Amino acid sequence: MATPVTAQPREQAGPVRRFADLLYRKPTLYLSLLLIPPLLWFGVIYLGSLLGLLWQSFYTFDDFSMTVTPTLTLDNLRALFQPANFDIILRTLSMAVAVSVASALLAFPIAFYMALHTSGRTKAFFYIAVMLPMWASYIVKAYAWTLLLAQGGVAQWFIDQLGLRFLLESLLAIPGVGGSTLSTSHLGRFLVFVYIWLPFMILPIQAALERLPRSLLQASADLGARPAQTLRLVILPLAIPGIAAGSIFTFCLTLGDFIVPLLVGPPGFFIGNMVYAQQGSIGNLPMAAAFTLVPIVLVALYLSVVKRLGAFDAL
Amino acid sequence: MSVAVQFTEVSRLYGQVRAVDQLTLDIRDGEFFSLLGPSGSGKTTCLRLIAGFEQPSSGSIRIQGVEAAGLPPYRRDVNTVFQDYALFPHMKVLDNVAYGLKVKGVAKAERLARAREALSLVALDGFAERRPSQLSGGQRQRVALARALVNRPRVLLLDEPLGALDLKLREQMQGELKKLQRQLGITFVFVTHDQGEALSMSDRVAVFNQGRLEQLDTPRNLYLQPATPFVAEFVGTSNVIRGELARQLCGSTQPFSIRPEHARLAGSEPASAEELQISGQLQDIQYLGAATRFELRLDNGQNFTVSQPNTHWSLDAPPVLPGQRVSARWPRAAMVPLREAP
């Protein structure tokens, strides 16, 4: 005969415990308490100030008195399409695209090896190797590269040792790619960008490949696919969300950067330098705000293209 | 009868661990062959050796007479149904099924037609345009089956394919798999740890233990004539009597097996010459519906199980109660002598 179960007398609960019980019974309240502080921060401080800045792109800047008046105008946005300004946009955009493509090409094999062929200590070693450069200030790294790439620097010494001087010189002679030396060429700037943003491409691709069940690769081989076919039909499509995520990093970071263009490469502004110059030395905040709009629009366009290509379908 | 897969002294070592140890067996063409054993017994490794995901450390594996050791999976005329189905999440069902034909360069119209045919073979006609994530576990299972069968392999490998399904669905799929196998005439090599599944579906069953083949026989022979104590206890339940008790009962220490349903609880009448009797304390009675199980604790501390069919339909009280001293009897002819594992 089982003894009947009697309810234990409820012990007197303290306020903290009663609050915890309340949160347990009302999951919505619990969630909103967790979400309100970050949403407030994000909404007011981040989005609010961004929208405030963008709103100023419609203000009028008087060239003569160097003052800003809150009269709404589209002149600033129109000015973006003047040849001098549009050049800056094209220069930045083409660099961002080139850096993203090169990073993806370089990152994929590393990420592939890390995700599918390492474990334990080797994997930890690769993680550290990929992330260690991010521990150093990126201004220091950019400066270091100016020295590495300079006339008579390490890079040139290596090229000379390999007897490839003629190749470097013919590369530097190509308009739009070259320049007088490696450190003042577009090529040099490109190399530094790729170096600095590469970890941001490796890690998302590696994460995407890490989630790939090994049985899918076995199933592909089992069904008769050679390794190249498995790579093209199974691994690459499933890595695309990672490549897209990584390229969003490299693309956005290059679009917004103004330190590397300042230190490495030929003269000529990037969007970031233009924003800096307009709002800093000139005080033309409306024009700076208009330039800020450019990367936002470009990234939005980029994301919609990537989405249309189906990069997020497998998420 | 020709041989589909032939293992000759195959071993697979992981460091010092012998996952498969000196295995020699033949799988005949067109049979439903099961590899049965507990986890870690080497049965899945065997399957992976046939598929080519593993290579043997030594020995020879011939598939349809061709030496397969060293061949990668994509050069073997076998296909696998994976335990987790391994469907490609970025392809719709039809493309999943057509994948094997696509990589072999079959023209688009033909491969889609054959993929649709394979889908209707597993009764999934209306699901071609869906994604794997929109299917239930049982449906994914069928897609995995169609994807393997569309290649018309000589040997189909199934790695615990029913493990993730619930009981009813599993029983239904068992029937369908068996029917498909008869219809297509393909050799099925089926890995399972479920002895009931192996017995009900297979033409022949290989029982594995610790990387070694314990016994290879038809389900009926396996159940009625287990060769070793391991097989007796793993395939169905059995009472294995060893050592001193065996000597007392039949004069030899060779172990023997007696199935619970071949023994019965004895009354007070004396045992006949053809019967052996053992007594102990009744520990537990389990009512299973079609049968009742009686658990006895023998004087040497060993358990002994008797299973009696419930052939009577009226609500009688059980004839005995736990704690009572009872005797169990069985015919001498029902005893199966076992060989001790080396």
**CATH number, residue B123:** 3.40.50.300
Percent of chain B with pLDDT over 70: 99
Residue B241 lies inside a defined structural domain of this protein? no
> Rounded to 5 degrees, what angle do the CA atoms A42, A48, A52 make?
155
Q: Name, in order, each residue with C-beta under 8 angstroms of A143's C-beta and a sequence gap of 6 or more.
A: A263
> Residue A170 has what pLDDT?
86
Q: Name, in order, each residue with C-beta under 8 angstroms of B143's C-beta and a sequence gap of 6 or more.
A: B85, B87, B93, B96, B97, B119, B122, B124, B127, B132, B135
Report the chain A residue with the minimal C-alpha distance to residue B53.
Answer: A218
pLDDT-derived band at A168 (thresholds 50, 70, 90) equals confident
The three-class DSSP label of residue A12 is coil
CB contact under 8 A, A233 and B80: no
pLDDT-derived band at A223 (thresholds 50, 70, 90) equals very high
ipTM value, please give it.
0.85
Whether B119 and B225 map to the same domain: the answer is yes
> Rounded to 5 degrees, what angle do the CA atoms A303, B130, A313 make?
15
Q: What is the model's pTM?
A: 0.81
Report the chain A residue with the minimal C-alpha distance to residue B52.
Answer: A222
* B279-316: pLDDT as tens digits: 899 999 998 888 889 999 988 888 999 998 888 877 77
Residue B255 lies inside a defined structural domain of this protein? no
Whether B273 and B310 map to the same domain: the answer is yes
Q: Specify the number of domains making up chain B.
A: 2
Burial B205-214 (b: 16+ CB within 10 A, else e): bbbbbbbbbb
Residue B103 lies inside a defined structural domain of this protein? yes
CA-to-CA distance for A252 and A302, rounded, in angstroms? 10
* B100-140: pLDDT as tens digits: 999 999 999 999 999 999 999 888 888 999 999 999 888 99
Whether B158 and B67 map to the same domain: the answer is yes
For chain A, give percent helix, strand, coil, nearest 5.
Answer: 75, 0, 25
Which residues of B lie closer than 8 Å to A, measured between beta carbons?
A: 51-53, 72-74, 78-80, 82-84, 86-90, 99-100, 102-104, 147-148, 151
Of B73, B84, B103, the CB nearest to A215: B84
Residue spans of the domains in chain A: they are: 99-308
B79: chain A residues, CB-CB within 8 Å: 222-223
Whether B223 and B295 map to the same domain: the answer is no
Residue B172 lies inside a defined structural domain of this protein? yes
> Residue B321 has what pLDDT?
83
Q: Which of A153-162, A229-238, B43-52 has the lowest mean pLDDT?
A: A153-162
Interface check A85 vs B, CB under 8 A = no
Q: Name, in order, each residue with C-beta under 8 angstroms of A34's C-beta and a sequence gap of 6 or more.
A: none
Whether B286 and B210 map to the same domain: the answer is no
Interface check A223 vs B, CB under 8 A = yes
pLDDT-derived band at A9 (thresholds 50, 70, 90) equals low
Whether B45 and B185 map to the same domain: the answer is yes
Residue B281 lies inside a defined structural domain of this protein? yes
Is the model more confident about A96 or about A180? A96
Residue B244 lies inside a defined structural domain of this protein? no
Whether B299 and B230 map to the same domain: the answer is no
> Residue B115 has what pLDDT?
94
Whether B223 and B302 map to the same domain: the answer is no
Whether B10 and B79 map to the same domain: the answer is yes
Interface check A228 vs B, CB under 8 A = no
The DSSP secondary structure of B104-139, one letter per residue, reads TT--HHHHHHHHHHHHHHTT-GGGTTS-GGGS-HHH
Whether B183 and B321 map to the same domain: the answer is no
Indicate whether A256 pLDDT > 90: no
> Residue B244 has what pLDDT?
81
* B315-334: pLDDT as tens digits: 776 678 888 898 899 998 88
Task: Place domain A99-308 in its CATH homologous superfamily.
Answer: MetI-like (1.10.3720.10)
Whether B270 and B209 map to the same domain: the answer is no
Residue B240 lies inside a defined structural domain of this protein? no
Interface check A124 vs B, CB under 8 A = no
Question: Smallest CA–CA separation between A119 and chain B, in Å?
Answer: 17
B52: chain A residues, CB-CB within 8 Å: 221-222
CB contact under 8 A, B103 and A215: no
For the purposes of burial, counting CB atoms within 10 Å of the CB of B281, is it exposed (0-12), middle (13-18) or buried (19 or more)? middle
CB contact under 8 A, B79 and A223: yes
CATH (domain of B325) = 2.40.50.140
CB contact under 8 A, B86 and A229: no
* A12-53: pLDDT as tens digits: 778 899 999 999 999 999 999 999 999 999 888 889 988 988
B161: chain A residues, CB-CB within 8 Å: none
Domain range for residue B302?
260-332
Question: Smallest CA–CA separation between B100 and chain A, in Å?
Answer: 5
> Residue A1 has what pLDDT?
45
Of A226, A233, A238, the CB nearest to B74: A226
Structural contact between residues B206 and B45, judged by C-beta atoms closer than 8 angstroms: no
CA-to-CA distance for A210 and A213, rounded, in angstroms? 8
Residue B33 lies inside a defined structural domain of this protein? yes
A243: chain B residues, CB-CB within 8 Å: none
> Residue B222 has what pLDDT?
93
Question: Smallest CA–CA separation between A300 and chain B, in Å?
Answer: 25
The three-class DSSP label of residue B254 is coil
Question: Smallest CA–CA separation between B99 and chain A, in Å?
Answer: 7
Question: Smallest CA–CA separation between A197 and chain B, in Å?
Answer: 29
